[in-house]
Amino acid sequence: MISPRAFVIGMVAVWGATGLIEPHTPNAGEPFNEIGFFQIIAWALLLFGWVKSHARAKQIVPPTGAPLFAALLPPLGVPYYAFKGFGLREGSKLTGLSFLTLAVMFGIYTLMYELSARVGT
């Protein structure tokens, strides 16, 4: 069984690697460029696995469709999983932590993008 933390580390690594590689692609900075496509696929797979792994670690059955919903539409799917699976109090904590983690991933992506763009030129 892969731990939920390993999935989160994988997501952070995907965002960091994307930031390092993207400045060197032909359509860097555009919303749907080449590297962004692979990032979306990898992130969706990791989110799907995270929901299943997290539910298993917390010894709950994930709400119906929660892994797929989180993978396809994360801003709605992760809170759906959190609130339906854990209730208002714990769901709020999990959702807040999830959005904080997302902000950290954006920061890592931006830092890696800027470093790679400056070093690579």
Q: Six-digit token pair at 42?
A: 């990898």
Residue pointed to by tokens 């800027």: 114
> What is the Cα–Cα distance from 96 to 90, expressed in whole angstroms?
10
Q: How many CB atoms sit inside 10 A of residue 83's CB?
A: 16
pLDDT in tens, 10-61: 999 999 999 999 998 888 877 788 888 899 999 999 999 999 999 999 999 9
> What is the Cα–Cα distance from 86 to 102, expressed in whole angstroms?
20
Mean pLDDT (the chain, rounded): 93
7: pLDDT confidence band, cut at 50, 70 and 90?
Answer: very high
Q: Report yes or no: 4 and 54 within 8 Å, Cβ to Cβ.
A: yes
Closest CA to 14 of 98, 75, 95, 105: 105
Q: What percent of the chain has pLDDT over 70?
A: 98
The per-type count for the chain, helices as H runs and strands as E runs, is 4, 0
> What is the Cα–Cα distance from 38 to 4, expressed in whole angstroms?
21
121: pLDDT confidence band, cut at 50, 70 and 90?
Answer: low
pLDDT over 90 at 9, yes or no: yes
